[in-house]
């Protein structure tokens, strides 16, 4: 679905009875090559990694290194970290011709982000979030361009509901809810909190947290009534998860090799993704050997010798 002409909107994907499947913003990982891979396996919407809007606006070098896309890389949401409305609005105007929406990060719990006024500290500044959403909607000259937010929850859920309703009043397109507080890391996701938020607004809500298999998509939808689900680590471990595969299929591994070569993906990134993909399907000794490989050709030889090619499976 191409939406750069302004005639169609990514909002059209949120239809009754359909659960929209989303690839999360992941620092270093949700770049163009990986987005191209998950799109082959039923991922509906992809996010870029989080980009600091002020750096993005200050430097051409930052713009070129942080934001790469292609005609087929759609629908695409660009996620920004920002703490003032004008900078976010300016950044949105720069990426708008090449994307379908921007998302404001209000969920990153890392200390550096929060001390700089970014990420999860914004859930305590609903008026500022309102202003930032409104500025994006006013400045981007495309009525179908979306402005969304990704949040974590408060210990007192009334504050989260208030934030979401204020963002809705400012025209936010949808809200992604990571069902944990800023202090929580691997604790269970608070599905009841996500449901409460979904019930308190009329706009689409996407659930995030612990989506590891396709069955988790359906169970999360049943538990919360959300309109979509977003996966991060689940997709790193298995980019074909949304297509119903329990573990990364061999075809997907070789697709990643092809895409990486086509995109000129740096070896470290190429290798790291494969380490994630092979983790559940390989033994400890195999992982030790694989993790120590240091060139693309060595990786390809290893994959061929250990798993074979897709053609071998068909034979």
Task: Tell whether 27 is in a known binding site.
Answer: yes
Residues 6 or more apart whose Cβ sits within 8 Å of residue 5: none
How far from each other are the two terminal CA atoms of the chain, in whole angstroms? 35
- Of 262, 259, 270, the C-alpha closest to 296 is 270
**178 belongs to an annotated ligand binding site:** yes
CA atoms within 13 A on the CB side of 249: 16
CA distance linking residue 232 with residue 228, whole number of Å = 14
**165 annotated to bind ligand:** no
Marked catalytic residue, from 43, 108, 164, 252: 108
For Cα atoms 151, 10, 228, give the angle at the middle one, nearest 5 degrees.
50
233 is an annotated ligand-binding site residue: yes
Residue 26 among known ligand-binding residues: yes
> What CA–CA distances, in Å, run from 19 to 57, 221, 239, 259?
35, 7, 18, 27
Q: In whole angstroms, what is the distance from residue 45 CA to residue 126 CA?
A: 26
**79 labelled ligand-binding:** yes
Is 231 marked within a binding site?
A: no
* Annotation says 108 is catalytic: yes
Cβ atoms of residues 45 and 67 within 8 Å: no
Binding residues for FMN: 25-27, 79, 178, 232-233
Residues carrying an active site annotation: 108
């Amino acid at each position: 679905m191409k939406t750069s002409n302004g005639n169609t909107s990514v909002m059209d994907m949120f239809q009754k009875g359909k659960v929209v499947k989303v690839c999360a913003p992941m620092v270093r990982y949700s770049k163009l090559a990986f987005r191209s891979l998950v799109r082959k396996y039923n991922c509906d919407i992809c996010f870029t990694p989080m980009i600091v809007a002020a750096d993005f606006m200050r430097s051409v070098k930052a713009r070129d290194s942080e934001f790469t896309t292609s005609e087929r890389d759609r629908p695409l949401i660009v996620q920004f970290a920002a703490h003032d409305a004008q900078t976010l609005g300016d950044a949105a105007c720069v990426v708008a011709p090449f994307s379908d929406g921007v998302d404001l990060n209000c969920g990153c719990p890392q200390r550096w982000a929060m001390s700089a006024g970014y990420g999860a500290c914004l859930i305590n500044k609903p008026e500022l979030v309102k202003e930032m959403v409104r500025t994006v909607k006013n400045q981007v000259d495309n009525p179908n361009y979306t402005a969304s937010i990704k949040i974590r929850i408060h210990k007192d859920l009334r504050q989260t509901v208030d934030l979401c309703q204020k963002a809705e009043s400012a025209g936010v397109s949808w809200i992604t809810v990571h069902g944990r507080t800023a202090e929580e890391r691997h604790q269970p996701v608070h599905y009841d909190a996500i449901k409460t938020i979904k019930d308190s607004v009329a706009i689409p809500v996407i659930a995030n947290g612990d989506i590891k298999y396709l069955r988790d998509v359906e169970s999360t939808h049943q538990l919360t009534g959300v309109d979509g689900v977003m996966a991060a680590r689940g997709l790193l471990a298995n980019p074909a998860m949304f297509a119903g595969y329990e573990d990364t299929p061999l075809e997907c591994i070789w697709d990643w090799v092809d895409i990486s070569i086509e995109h000129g993906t740096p070896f470290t990134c190429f290798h790291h993704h494969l380490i994630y993909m092979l983790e559940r399907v390989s033994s400890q000794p195999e992982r030790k050997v694989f993790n120590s490989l240091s060139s693309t050709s060595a990786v390809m030889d290893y994959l061929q010798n250990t798993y074979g090619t897709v053609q071998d499976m068909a034979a």
